[in-house]
A and B are shown apart, each in its own frame.
Chain A
Amino acid sequence: MPFVDLQSKLGINLDQWLLAQSGEQPQKRAARCHAFQKEWIECAHGIGQNRAKKECNLELEDFYECLHRRKTQQRLYEIRKQKEKMIKEGTYTPPPHHSGNEEARP
């Protein structure tokens, strides 16, 4: 029922356990983005959607980044492209630990 938190009122937990990553997990293994989701939920809870979109933007962005890693991937892609360009020009040779000859260490 909307606007009525029936499960908290009755004190039962029928399906809340499968709703958020930050909920209780089997074997107590935390999700990868547990912290980000928890922060976002704590920031955005109870203040309405319009206010949450304005005030909790940073947390939401971090959570999104943790889930999809868009910015990380974009950054890594640009580094790789620049590296290949430099290798083609001949201005850069990758060091041994980046070309498969890493010395074995424990």
Chain B
Amino acid sequence: MAASKVKQDMPPPGGYGPVDYRRNLPRRGLSGYSMFGIGVGILVFGYWRLFRWNRERRRLQIEELEARIALLPLLQAEQDRRTLRMLRENLEEEAVIMKDVPGWKVGEKAFHTDRWVPPVTEELFNLRPREEMLQKKFGFQWYV
């Protein structure tokens, strides 16, 4: 039916232009070796920074320890005073509590020797509420 002019979608007169059909895989970017090297370089740089900072932290830690050493006499004296005060209070309370118990010697020592035996936590905190003893024994878990 060449006589009927049906509107069809036809190519433009003269045909289409040239079509670029070849592969386009350009060689660009770094090679695998250099990428690996960059990764390793970043790692090494990170390690260097870490080691430097760790050395600095060690110096700071040593300074803190030296400050503690300088304060040790004071802390030890306070601790000793506290221990002696608690023992004294326990002794006085024991005298009050056990006055009706027959055959009880107040302040009787459990050792035959005359040496000073550092008291145990249970002994110091015997007459106080149990939480205080537990806090003293187990309250301190770790330094930082």
Q: Which residues of A contact B127 (CB under 8 A)?
A: 79-80, 83, 94, 98
Select from chain B the residue with minimum beta-carbon distance to A97. Answer: B89
Q: Report if B94 contacts A (CB, 8 A).
A: yes
> CB distance A92 to B122 under 8 Å?
no
> CB distance A80 to B126 under 8 Å?
yes
Q: Which residues of B contact A82 (CB under 8 A)?
A: 97-98, 101
Determine chain A's interface SS by DSSP, over half rule. Answer: helix
Determine chain B's interface SS by DSSP, over half rule. Answer: loop
A65 to B101, CA, bound (A): 24
- CB B130 to nearest CB in A, in angstroms, measures 10
A76 to B97, CA, bound (A): 12
Enumerate chain A interface residues (CB-CB to B < 8 A).
32, 35-36, 39, 58, 61-62, 65-66, 69, 71-73, 75-76, 78-80, 82-83, 86, 92, 94-95, 97-100, 106
A30 to B32, CA, bound (A): 61
> CB distance B96 to A100 under 8 Å?
no
